[in-house]
A and B are shown apart, each in its own frame.
Chain A
Amino acid sequence: MKKALKTYRHVLIISDHVHRERAKCKQRELQNRDRFVQLKVISQLGDGTVEALLSEQPIGSALILCGEGALETERVAVSLGYARNDIYIETQQQMRAFCSQCHHITSLVTHERFVCENCRNQLEPSEHYSSYHRAHLAYPVFIESDD
């Protein structure tokens, strides 16, 4: 059974560029809980470039993989001695964005501007994450020409 991430003292996050913001949020969230969190952003997971990094982590570390190709990296990690229960894969999960104007939550694929499904405001997701709502706060996009 997987433990809660906050129970690990040392966490390694490996992310591709697409999921970098999500990985940064995760890093900040865990750092706020006094955990040592190392973030490595690479061009693509599963390209075999992280073996050395995985090998040098302390025993009992958690590994978070963000991005496509995570399963390949997981296999590499297991072959190096990681327990599957210590590996957390965050891929193919949609980001949830909390509309600051109407509170509706919209599922997104990317961290880019979007239109709220409910109030039709144009919004921009922020890094402010609520573990209660499991969503990022999204602010209205404001342009100077708005009257």
Chain B
Amino acid sequence: MSSKVEFPFPFTSDHYEYTNNSSPLIPARTVTVSSNYVEEVRLKRKLLEENHERCYRSLPISLESQWETLLLVFRELATYEPEHFSFKRRGNTYVFTNHLLQEEETFVYRDHSSIDFEPLDLVGRHVQEDLIVMGDRHDGLFLEAGQLCFPSNWSLTFVLGMEFKTIHTPVPAIAEFIEKVERFITRIRPNTAWERKNWSITISHKLDTPLETYSDWGKLRYHVTKENAGELVNLRVEVQRLFRLPVTNDILFSIHTYLLPLNELVANDDWLKKFYTNVKTLPQELADYKGISLYKPELLGFLEKALKRRKIER
């Protein structure tokens, strides 16, 4: 399957609207295996090896949820992708086999000495998703562990231990909205999953754009022109899933990131028109927050040219 066919195009209307846009997932899955699996998992592992402190952080309080996540994700992979993964129990020992990578993980549940990494760090090395554990405490949701290799301009180290609402402080004009989202998350029932799509724009086909390397990739924003936008600019979509862990009652937040170069996007008339109208109607403060303001005229210019070429009315 080509990556374009899999691409989760996020826009459903012809104008920008900030919404929760979550929908329940049946079956309640937390991860997806796409055609880029091997390439992306290898990239994740490389990033983890080179920048472990940037890509993996945890608080001791998260360990139980990490173990629960490990079992959940390994079981899910084996259940829904049996041609690629298997998961078996032999006495106290579990064996997970990744046929795509020809690897085997053997461990004893909750025995830390049986694994080389923390449980979340281990299971995250077998999925394309970034995995975050949010502790559901009586006074809010707190980010207590995360394996984050493909962030869009944020720092896992900075937000570790922070509460959900304060993590989102920089997002403009959404204080009330974020409270609603937090209430929504706290009401997610055990063993159920919800999914939403979140979009942004990345300059270059780069999945790993952490805040820590902003001074390297951020400067590319100044190089966008009407002529090179098709190649340089990518629509970035995060498929975000929230799953209530039934034993610890914490939340597993998974993020699967997809990139689509504009040259590929504009080949689809419906996508081209929706993307154009959404960028055009994006409020200024959100354009600033998403970093689009720097090259918005060039981006719109490129899209208008494509619309004209394909004889699509604006």
Contact = CB atoms under 8 A, between A and B. Distances in A.
A6 B170 CA distance: 21
Given A132-B160, A137-B155, A100 B211 contact: yes
A6 B222 CA distance: 42
B166 to A, nearest CB: 6
B215 interface: yes
Nearest to A135: B158
B228 interface: no
B170 A128 contact: yes
A137 B212 CA distance: 11
A6 B165 CA distance: 14
Contacts of A33: 165
Interface in B166-218: 166, 169-170, 175, 179, 211-215, 218
Interface stretch (A10-18, A43-51, A54-62, A138-146): A138-146
B161 interface: yes
Contacts, number: 66
A122 to B, nearest CB: 10
A82 interface: no
* Residue with the greatest number of chain A CB neighbours at <10 A, chosen from B161, B169, B219: B169
A103 B219 CA distance: 21
Contacts of A144: 222
Contacts of B212: 100-103
B158 A130 contact: yes
A85 B313 CA distance: 66
Contacts of A139: 211, 214
B162 interface: yes
B159 interface: yes
A32 interface: yes
A59 B214 CA distance: 48
B166 A146 contact: no
Interface in A77-103: 98, 100-103
A32 B155 contact: no
Contact of B159 (A31, A130, A142, A147): A130
Contacts of B165: 32-33
Contacts of A146: 215, 219, 222
A100 B155 contact: yes
B278 interface: no
A102 to B, nearest CB: 8
B215 A137 contact: no
A128 B94 CA distance: 42
Nearest to A101: B212
A110 B235 CA distance: 38
A142 B213 CA distance: 12
Interface string B67-82: 0000000000000000
A29 B175 contact: no
B97 interface: no
Contacts of A131: 162-163, 166
Given A32-B166, A129-B166, A129-B169, A100 B158 contact: yes
Given A127-B169, A130-B166, A98 B218 contact: no
Given A121-B215, A132-B161, A137-B155, 10 more contacts: A100-B158, A100-B212, A101-B212, A101-B214, A128-B158, A130-B159, A139-B211, A140-B214, A140-B215, A146-B215
The 9 closest A-B pairs by CB, nearest first: A132-B161, A32-B165, A100-B211, A140-B215, A128-B169, A128-B170, A146-B219, A103-B157, A130-B162
Interface of A: 6, 28-29, 31-33, 98, 100-103, 121, 126-133, 137, 139-140, 142, 144, 146-147
15 contacts: A6-B139, A28-B169, A100-B155, A101-B213, A101-B215, A103-B53, A103-B212, A127-B170, A128-B158, A130-B158, A131-B163, A132-B162, A133-B158, A137-B158, A142-B215
